[in-house]
Structure 1
Amino acid sequence: MYEKLYGFKERPFSMLPDPSFLYLGEKHSAAFALLEYGLMSKAGFTVITGEVGSGKTTLVRHLLNQTHNDVTVGLISNTHEDMGHLLKWVLLAFNQKYDYDCQVALYDAFRRFLIDQYAEYRHSVLIIDEAQNLQPKVLEELRMLSNINADKHLVLQLILVGQPQLREQLSSPGLLQFRQRISVRYHLPALSEDDTLAYIRHRIHCAGCENELFTKGAIDIIYQASEGIPRAINLLCDTALVYGYAKKRLSIDAEIIQAVLADIEESISPQRQNMATDRQDADAKEAVTLPSSESVPKVCKLTEFDKDTARQLFGNTLKKY
């Protein structure tokens, strides 16, 4: 919709993970370096955690794009609590077909696959995204699978990526043996204020626009509202560009961001809810005064997809339209 007005080759703030737009600030660079180290050093287990929308999946996809030819990667990205047929999921992750349900036969098929990979001097890595959904029983099954060996060499490496709850799960007494196998762990924090500015500009430039479309005042409000979570930043920026397009604005200022926040209402964050009361000077209070939703063109109203995304990121208190 707005690409032509702002000179984009594509939308810069898509909600979908896209490694080509990856911004490697200090914290994301550290996380990626540890992922890469865990992969190349054949460390036992690697665990990366972070809040919803912090960029974990994008890092994983970037890692997959960087893997060497001697690495065979299996990816499970749609985990859920009822993973009762773990071996079937694992075999599918490595593109291995099966036509039986017997657990012993499934285990033997996977064992033979790993041994064959090892014989061909290939390293097998199983990456599990959204690993916080796995039950302790499934995590223990994964540990047992990682015990498969050839010539006393372990032939399967695990990389678990998940939300902060994963750390709590792994701290339970019943998973002591699993914890002892973790060689690399890192928690991916939110972006800093400076990184938020750099992140927005990076994605704009990657999309083909050399202009600094967002004013510093706009970015300040985006940072406060998003609390530095990349997916939340994307939602705010993408919606703001739609608003700017509707109003034929060539730059995105604080007023437009305030209009976006008016649509998302009080669901952004506790920090934003108290922003006006925490600031004492009149100018700051005026800066966060939100316009009436009626002033927003209908073309700019949030889509159902955006509303669902906002609910996931910010809660369930969006205004109903």
Structure 2
Amino acid sequence: MYLDHWQLAAKPFEPSADGLFYYPSESHMGATLKLRYAMENHRAAAVLAGPSGVGKTLLVQQLLGQLPGGEQPVVQVVYPQMPSRELLAYLAARLTSAEETPQVTPSIDQSLLRIEHYLTAAAERGERPMVVIDEAHLLEDAGTLECVRLLQNLQREGTPLLSLLLVGQSSLLSTLSRTPRLEERIDITALVDPLSAEETHSYVQHRLGAAGATHELFTSAAVDTLHQLAHGVVRRINRLGDLALLLGYAGGATVVDTPLVQSVASELAFARAA
């Protein structure tokens, strides 16, 4: 809607896995380095934790795209808040590429046996499948942490048959500390933080440049305000930035300034209160 007005080729603040728009902050780069080490060296389990909205999912998507083919297949669980029996049945179906869903959910033992048979065959082919569990901080509420630990018991000659990556909010670290039998199997812990003020400036410039901007669209003070209002959280920066461009277009603005960003934030606050 506002692309022509701002002379852009694409929306700069869309949530996108497109590498062109990906901005690796210092904590993103550090986390990626740790996780690549864990995956490429066949570590049993790793954790990626950080506040909501800081780009953990996007980081994982970028990471998976960089891994060698021997790490495949990858099974991603995006809604882990299900009973243990259903979670294991889901993993068994995804790992074995089952085309049909059984009428009756298999027992935990049946699913584990099916998973073990598949992983053993994969190991003989030189493959090391990976299971990525997003929103892993919800596992404790669902009572499935023990189920996840059981997956680490599937080994061959003392080596786990799969790599496990738990991705969740910062509370995941506390959850694991209350589950020592699982925590002791975590080889790598990587943390992602909100952007610093300087990184927010770089992030906005990077995104606008990737979208085709050829001149300044946000004043420096407006970006400072973006950072303060969003507390460096990328998801909030994106929301505020996108709406600022929209309202700027509607009002015929030639640049996004501080009052415009503040107006957007006020509207969002009003909408939440309503």
> Normalising to structure 1: TM-score of the pair?
0.78
Question: How far is the alpha carbon of 1:89 from its aligned partner?
Answer: 2.2
- Looking at both structures, which has the greater relative contact order when contacts are Cα pairs under 8 Å and sequence separation is at least 6? 2
The structure 1 residue matched to 2:245, chosen from 241, 244, 263, is 241
Q: Distance in 2 between matches of 1:162 and 1:120?
A: 31
AA at the equivalent of 2:65: N
Which secondary structure state, in structure 1, belongs to the residue aligned with residue 232 of structure 2? coil
Larger-gyration structure (1/2): 1
AA at the equivalent of 1:198: S
**1:219 equivalenced with 2:220 (yes/no):** no
Structure 1 residues without counterparts, runs of 5 or longer: 267-306, 308-317
Look up the SS of the partner of 2:69 in the other structure: coil
Bigger Cα displacement from structure 2, 123-132 vs 91-100 = 91-100
What residue in structure 1 maps to residue 195 of structure 2?
191
Q: Output the aligned Cα RMSD.
A: 1.8
| TM-fit CA distance, 1:103 | 2.7
Is the partner of 2:144 in helix, strand or coil?
A: helix
Q: 1:83 touches 1:134 (CA, 8 Å); kept in 2? A: no
Hey, what's the Cα distance between the residues in 1 that align with 2:82 and 2:201? 37
CA-CA distance at 1:102 after TM superposition:
3.1
Conservation of the 8 A alpha-carbon contact between 1:192 and 1:228 = yes
State TM-score, norm by structure 2. Answer: 0.91
The corresponding residue for 1:18 is 17
**Which residue of the partner structure matches residue 171 of structure 1?**
177
Quick one: distance in 2 between partners of 1:82 and 1:235?
34
**How many equivalent pairs are there?**
267
Specify the alignment match of 1:86 in structure 2.
87
Equivalences for 1:157-306 in 2 at 5 Å? Answer: 157-172=163-178, 175-265=179-269
Measure, in 1, the Cα distance between the counterparts of 2:254 and 2:11: 16
8 A contact 1:49–1:163 mirrored in 2: yes
- State the percentage of identical aligned residues: 28
1:250, CA displacement in angstroms? 2.3
Match of 1:146 among 143, 152, 162: 152
Q: Which residue of 2 is the match for residue 108 of structure 1?
A: 113
Q: Given the alignment of the two structures, is residue 129 of structure 1 paired with residue 134 of structure 2, yes or no?
A: yes
Asked whether the equivalents of residues 75 and 94 of structure 1 are also in contact (C-alpha less than 8 Å), the reply is: no
Query: 8 Å contact 1:49–1:164 — kept in the other structure?
Result: yes
1:84 and 1:154, CA in 2 relative to 1: closer, same or farther beyond 3 A? Answer: closer
Alignment-derived partner of residue 299 in structure 1: none
For the structure 1 residues 253 and 93, does the alpha-carbon distance in structure 2 shift closer, same or farther, using more than 3 Å as the test?
Answer: farther
The aligned amino acid for 1:68 is P
Shift of 1:124: 1.1
Q: Is the 8 A contact 2:80 2:134 kept in 1?
A: yes
Report the more deviating stretch, 89-98 or 136-145: 89-98
Q: Following the alignment from structure 2 to structure 1, what is the Cα–Cα distance between the partners of residues 235 and 12?
A: 12
Verify: 1:155 aligned to 2:161, yes or no.
yes
Provide the C-alpha distance between the structure 2 equivalents of 1:76 and 1:141, rounded to a whole number of angstroms.
14
Aligned twin of 1:55: 55
SS of 1:24's equivalent in the other structure is: coil
Distance 1:51 1:57 in 2: 12
Give the counterpart letter for 1:114 in structure 2.
L
Q: In terms of mean alpha carbon deviation, does 33-42 or 204-213 score higher? A: 204-213
- Give how far 1:10 is off: 1.8
Secondary structure of the 1:85 match is helix
- Higher alpha-carbon deviation: 135-144 or 211-220: 135-144
1:50–1:187 Cα contact (<8 Å) kept: yes
Q: What code does the residue aligned with 1:87 have?
A: L
- Structure 1 stretches of at least 4 aligned residues deviating more than 4 Å after TM superposition: 81-84
Shifted more, 222-231 versus 95-104: the winner is 95-104
Structure 1 residue matching 2:252: 3-state secondary structure: coil
